[in-house]
Amino acid sequence: MLKLVIGNKLYSSWSLRPWLVLSAFSIPFEEIVIPLRRPETASQLMEYSPSGKVPVLIDGDVTVWESLAIIEYLAEKFPDLPIWPRDGKARAHARAIASEMHAGFQALRQGCAMHLGARFATPPITDALRANVDRVEDIWSEARNRYGNGDGPFLYGAFSAADAMYAPVVTRFETYQMPVREATRSYMDAVLMHPALGEWRKAALVEPWSIPEYSAGHTLIENYV
Ligand SMILES: N[C@@H](CCC(=O)N[C@@H](CS)C(=O)NCC(=O)O)C(=O)O
């Protein structure tokens, strides 16, 4: 059985990505949760992960770390599943935007950490944050307009790895009440209503650990935990 090692579901955005792919495509797996920011975290992570970070996928004697590499491994291992869009042009676009997510959006990632247990006031929108949000919205609208129309509410119609890569951004826009375009809102609603994300969030809300640093500097509007 595949094993996916992940961090806290409330906060670990990188863990969420491959977990969503496994769950959305009904691939059986066992999860191992390592709570982050505890005295024993580093040694527990090193038991599984050569980089000392989660997520990590273990498939027998194969260990794959880095969220996007895990997703690619799954796409190769399960070629019959449409983890990436089937159409070659859509797939190239999907891989480009997934890589862009994996490598960038620092202001958004640092200023609006994933936190599924609360809703915060919108933080001051710096130029860097505005540029990140605008770029995300442009990416989503381009994917939807060129490849997504008519076939479902996700970036390429049906749910794919690209949606999984951007799902934590959807939750950030929701948590920090980011003002967004109407089309962005419809896409966000589709992702937020995906059963796999619902399952992850439900488990997140009953986790016994909380990490106060993840709320630091933000004005709490509503607490769900
Ligand atoms: N580029 C990596 C990022 C992984 C990462 O930063 N994971 C965080 C949790 S979301 C982590 O393991 N941090 C270790 C720690 O907090 O001790 C990926 O895509 O998987």
State the distance from the centre of ligand 1 to the C-alpha of 64, rounded, in angstroms: 13
* pLDDT tens digits for range 57-107: 999 999 999 999 999 999 999 999 999 999 999 999 999 999 999 999 999
**120-152 tens-digit pLDDT:** 999 999 999 999 999 999 999 999 999 997 789
Which protein residue's CA is at the shortest distance from atom 5 of ligand 1? 53
Distance 8 CA to ligand 1 centre (A): 11
Pocket of ligand 1 (CB under 6 A): 7, 12-15, 36-37, 41, 53-55, 66-67, 102
Domain locations in the chain?
2-81, 88-199
Residue 172 scores a pLDDT above 90: yes
- Eight-class DSSP state of 37: S
- Closest residue (by CA) to atom 10 of ligand 1? 12
pLDDT digits (tens, 9 = 90+) for 5-26: 999 999 999 999 999 999 999 9
Q: What is the pLDDT of residue 151?
A: 81
CA–centroid distance, 55 to ligand 1, in Å, is 7
Distance 53 CA to ligand 1 centre (A): 4
111-122: pLDDT as tens digits: 999 999 999 999
How far is the CA of 174 from the CAs of 32, 106, 115, 178, in angstroms?
A: 27, 18, 10, 7
Atom nearest to 55 CA in ligand 1:
20
Cα 149 to averaged position of ligand 1 atoms, centre (Å)? 34
What pLDDT does 149 receive?
72
Superfamily of domain 2-81 in the CATH hierarchy? Glutaredoxin (3.40.30.10)
Cα–Cα dist 57/23, whole Å: 14
Measure the CA–CA gap between 210 and 207, rounded to whole angstroms. 8
Instruction: Tell me how far apart the alpha carbons of residues 8 and 136 are, in angstroms, rounded to a whole number.
Output: 25
pLDDT in tens, 157-169: 999 999 999 999 9
CATH of domain 88-199: 1.20.1050.10
